[in-house]
Amino acid sequence: MVGLVTGIGLVGWGGIASIGGLIAGTLALQQRMRNGRMEREESGAETRNDAGMPSGGPGGELSPYDAYKLGIERKTAEFSAARQSTVIKIVHHDPNEYVDHDTAVDVIDVLRKAGPDARIDVILHTPGGISSATQQILHALLNHKGPKTAFVPYRAKSAGTMIALACDEIVMGPSAVLGPIDPQYSWLPAHYLAELPSEKSADRISDEMLVLSKMAKQAMKEARRFACEYVNDAHKKDGTCSLTDDLIGGGRNHDYPILPDEAKEFGLKVRTNMPEAGYGICQPPPKDEPFLIVSMFNTEDGEKIDPAKAPKLPLDRNGFRLDRDGFR
């Protein structure tokens, strides 16, 4: 040990001491900056809380997303006050968002708390969702005695169309769209799967596809039954199920857009005087800032990661995501 110390010498030890001092000084400076930032954020949060505003970034400013949420809340309150109604929002912007069981819980709770005779306005902007969750929502709307109006500023496809049909009337934007309500299995139309055994011989169809075909046939039968049951009488021609039968098995692509004029031809009770606040409530949130996207490819110590080596999303052999359910 003595030899090692002697070998390093005074100059070596002096250099090590200088480096140690530099590191200590840098850490102390970082801690002071961190403490100062926390104090500013706490002070800004207190100011915003006193004003009844959501917390935002440093300096008392709202983050873009907080400002967006506050704007949506204000527009919703204005909409509700103008129509003296309870507003239910089913608004989806992200590709991974759709009508699910959490949506059903939210809708059921709003209706339960609103009271049996309350005016209900359902604002829809959705690509669709899960059949069983949609059926819960339809059942809750059907059993609500008060007036129910669906507002579709831009789109309400698949399950969203069914929810709109459960209301007494539908207010659409002039270029808004509804869509067919045929069930889907793994992104495939159920009515095509149901017809598969009649199109190909049994020895050319896998066991899995035969099972899927039987499930699809059952799904079509169930869809026809509950769709007719839950459609509001205001939209039925002569009290029949011709409307839902056409929307389920009318030979249209699942993404087929039904504009207001065609919706009226179906016999739907539709008008197009959409309130301006309806458009505002369905505006998409601000996009992520560039540095947030870049940070996805940085490690905690700042080391860069090649985006090409980033984790890949699970896909099936057809290129479809395996971590999300297909809309029904």
| CA gap 41, 20 in Å, rounded | 32
* Coil vs helix vs strand at 259: coil
The CATH number of the domain where 114 resides is what? 3.90.226.10
Q: What is the pLDDT of residue 33?
A: 57
**Residue 156 domain flag:** yes
**174 neighbors 144 (Cβ within 8 angstroms):** no
| CA gap 165, 148 in Å, rounded | 10
**Residue 306 domain flag:** no
Q: Which of 159, 154, 85 is nearest to 117 (CA)?
A: 85
Q: What is the pLDDT of residue 111?
A: 98
**134 neighbors 103 (Cβ within 8 angstroms):** no
* Beta-carbon contacts of residue 71 (< 8 Å; ≥ 6 apart): 280
Classify burial at 91, counting beta carbons within 10 Å of its beta carbon; exposed 0-12, middle 13-18, buried 19 or more: middle
**Residue 242 domain flag:** yes
pTM, two decimals, is: 0.69
What's 289's DSSP letter? P
| CA gap 107, 226 in Å, rounded | 19
Indicate the number of domains in the chain: 1
Q: What is the pLDDT of residue 95?
A: 87
For residue 92, what are the domain limits?
70-181+232-281
Cα radius of gyration (the chain)? 29
**Residue 162 domain flag:** yes
Q: Which of 72, 63, 68 is nearest to 45 (CA)?
A: 63
Task: Please list the ranges in the chain whose pLDDT falls under 50.
Answer: 1-13, 16-17, 37, 40-41, 43-55, 290-302, 305, 307, 310-311, 313-327
Which residue matches tokens 């459609």?
231
| CA gap 219, 214 in Å, rounded | 9
Name the token pair of 260. Answer: 């207001």
**Residue 165 domain flag:** yes
* Beta-carbon contacts of residue 168 (< 8 Å; ≥ 6 apart): 147, 148, 149, 232, 234, 269
Q: What is the pLDDT of residue 58?
A: 53
End-to-end Cα spacing for the chain: 75
∠ Cα 324 325 327 (to 5°): 130
**Residue 304 domain flag:** no
**Residue 118 domain flag:** yes
Positive or negative, the CA dihedral 26, 28, 34, 37 is: negative
**277 neighbors 82 (Cβ within 8 angstroms):** yes
**Residue 135 domain flag:** yes
* Beta-carbon contacts of residue 167 (< 8 Å; ≥ 6 apart): 120, 122, 141, 148, 149, 150, 232
In this structure, what are the phi and psi dihedrals at residue 324, rounded to the nearest 5 degrees? -145, 150
* Coil vs helix vs strand at 223: helix
Q: What is the pLDDT of residue 9?
A: 42
* Beta-carbon contacts of residue 136 (< 8 Å; ≥ 6 apart): 101, 104, 107, 108
